[in-house]
Amino acid sequence: TSPPVVAPSILAANFLHLENDIRQAVDGGAPWIHCDIMDGHFVPNISFGPDVVETVRSATDVFLDVHLMIEDPDRYIADFARAGADLITVHVETCPHLHRTLQSIHELGCHAGVAINPGTALGTLRAALEDADLVLLMTVNPGFGGQKFIRFSYDRLRALRLMRQELNKSFLIEVDGGVSRSNASDITSAGADVLVAGSSVFKSSDIASEVDAIRNAAGA
């Protein structure tokens, strides 16, 4: 299997020197950048929109992983595709026509991900697993960086890996929330392919070495 990917979340970056923070994270070995889009409705916080994603796109060639924590994402997927997203992830909790939404993301030329909150049953993902390129398992309640990893997430992670095996699918499993060098190894061995890390990376004194430390801990 390929080495785990560390995807730093720029929600925790210093927006006064965002380009520099991104460059340091990429220099540390991050092949992805995770963009957390929040609308103040689906989650109790507002972050940034397509224009910022477009600016990030102009600053780096790495894989842009856009996580839509917004109501009615169908209205915005084209804007994020146009802004340069490589992967667009929507929440199962916000998509009444999830199969159609994933199809639309693919029609826009992007990879399609589906995200699930800690309190949502994994069974609701079942139909989406036919088309999803990635499943994002929230390991904190969405809306903010800097929260503690929810421990029962390990059981969900192993269950998701089992589902993938039984369905003979090859979607990536991404873990998002409370990831650091101290739990990266447990998270990887429980089945994660992609580790999103926000505050552990961007609040550290050396961004590049923190990414490197998480990659090493994860077995990259």
Candidates 116, 143, 118; CA nearest to 47 is 143
Q: N- to C-terminal Cα distance for the chain?
A: 11
Q: How far apart are CA 193 and CA 45, in angstroms?
A: 27
Question: Mask 180-199, x = binds ligand DX5 (CB under 6 A)?
Answer: ----------------xxxx
Q: Is 51 annotated as a binding residue?
A: no
| Residue 143 lies near ligand DX5 (rule: CB under 6 A) | yes
Lookup: tokens for 148 = 């503690």
User: Which SS3 state, helix, strand or coil, does residue 98 take?
Assistant: helix
Torsion-angle region of residue 24: left (phi > 0), alpha (psi -120 to 50) or beta? alpha
Catalytic one of 39, 176, 193, 212: 176
Question: CA 158: distance to chain centroid?
Answer: 18
Among 88, 178, 184, 187, binds ligand DX5 (CB under 6 A): 178
Tell me, yes or no, if 36 is annotated catalytic.
Answer: yes
| Residue 142 lies near ligand DX5 (rule: CB under 6 A) | yes
Residue set of the binding site for a divalent metal cation: 34, 36, 67, 176
Where in the sequence numbering do the catalytic residues fall?
36, 176
Name the site residues for Zn ion (rule: CB under 5 A).
Answer: 36, 67, 176
Interface residues toward ligand DX5, by CB under 6 A: 9, 11-12, 34, 36, 67, 69, 140, 142-143, 145-147, 176-179, 196-200
